[in-house]
Amino acid sequence: MATTDQEMVRRFLRGEAEAVGTVDGWISRAAWPYQRRLAERWDDILQDVRLEVTRLLGEGKFRGESSLRTYLWRVVSHTCLDELRAQSKWKWADLESLDERESPTGPPRNIPTRQEDKDLLLRVLDQVPQDCRELWRMIAAGLSYREMSLRMNVAEGTLRVRVLRCREKAFTAREKLLGGDLASSRNIPAETSPKRSGRNANDL
């Protein structure tokens, strides 16, 4: 099977129509479930996948550890999932004028991307209560606080404080897991959230 796959790769890279057609068929089939969600840029994405496959095969990245078809499936899935995420990524409001003046002592904007850091952050997230995640998902979905309060049937003030507390919980969870290293390096003030007075804590 591996020999056949290697032969297929050679024929594909030589541009033989049959091999190109077969590989393209495998790519299209693997990519098919993502098509609706990526409809707007579908042709471009499919082309990106083909280019990526050609690049990887040309660089000899396929070593026959799995079948060629499975290898292509992995490439297609990676590319399409990445595209999906890029598409749904929350776009920050344009706050350029404020960003320029953002506190130099504030938390870093760059979140670690290394695998071990990812694992750590996932464990941090694991500590954040589910209702907090839901609240922030609504914000990321572009709901105003009025829409959210209507949807959740809570007072607007209560909702705003609840979101604020969730932000604090996320920080607390992070501090607990990361220890003092990050906090000290970032010089996070001990207390940054506002103290609310006159609001019933039970509302939260």
Partner 1 sequence: MTCDDAIELLPWLLNDTLEAGERREVSGHLGSCERCRHALAETRTAWEIINQHLPTEALVAMAYGESPAGIDPATAERHLDSCPQCAAELELARTSRRLEEDDRIAIFPGPRIRHADTGGSRSWRAAAMAAGLAGVVAATGWVYEARQAGSLAQRLAQRPAAVRESRAGGPVPTGEGSSRQQVAELEGRLRESETSLAQVGKQLDQASSQIAELQEQTHRLAEPQLNTWSDLVSGGDVVRGGAAEEVVVIPANRAATPMLEASLGGGVREIEILTGANQVLWKASGLRPTQEGDYRITVPPGFLKPGRYTIQLYSSETGKRIPRESYKIRVE
Least distance in angstroms from the C-beta of 15 to partner 1: 18
Closest CA relative to residue 23, chosen from 42, 46, 44, 43: 46
By CB under 8 A, the residues from 144 to 163 that bind partner 1 are: 144-145, 147, 160-161, 163
Query: What distance separates the 2 farthest-apart alpha carbons in the chain?
Result: 76
**Using the rule CB under 8 A, which residue among 11, 20, 73, 154 binds partner 1?**
73
CB-based contact 151:138 (threshold 8 Å) = yes
Helix axes 17-31, 68-88, angle to 10 degrees: 50
For partner 1, which is the closer residue by CB, 57 or 162? 162
CB-based contact 112:120 (threshold 8 Å) = yes
Q: Which stretch binds partner 1 (CB under 8 A): 8-16, 47-55, 57-65, 130-138?
A: 130-138
Q: Transcribe 170-186 into DSSP letters.
A: HHHHHHHHHTHHHHHHH
Q: Which stretch binds partner 1 (CB under 8 A): 5-13, 43-51, 53-61, 143-151?
A: 143-151
How many Å apart are CA 113 and CA 111, to the nearest integer?
6
By CB under 8 A, the residues from 1 to 60 that bind partner 1 are: 21-22, 24-26, 28-37, 39
Least distance in angstroms from the C-beta of 179 to partner 1: 16
Does the footprint of partner 1 cover residue 121 (CB under 8 A)? Answer: yes
For partner 1, which is the closer residue by CB, 13 or 20? 20
Least distance in angstroms from the C-beta of 37 to partner 1: 6
For 131, phi then psi, to 5°, come to -65, -30
For partner 1, which is the closer residue by CB, 60 or 198? 198
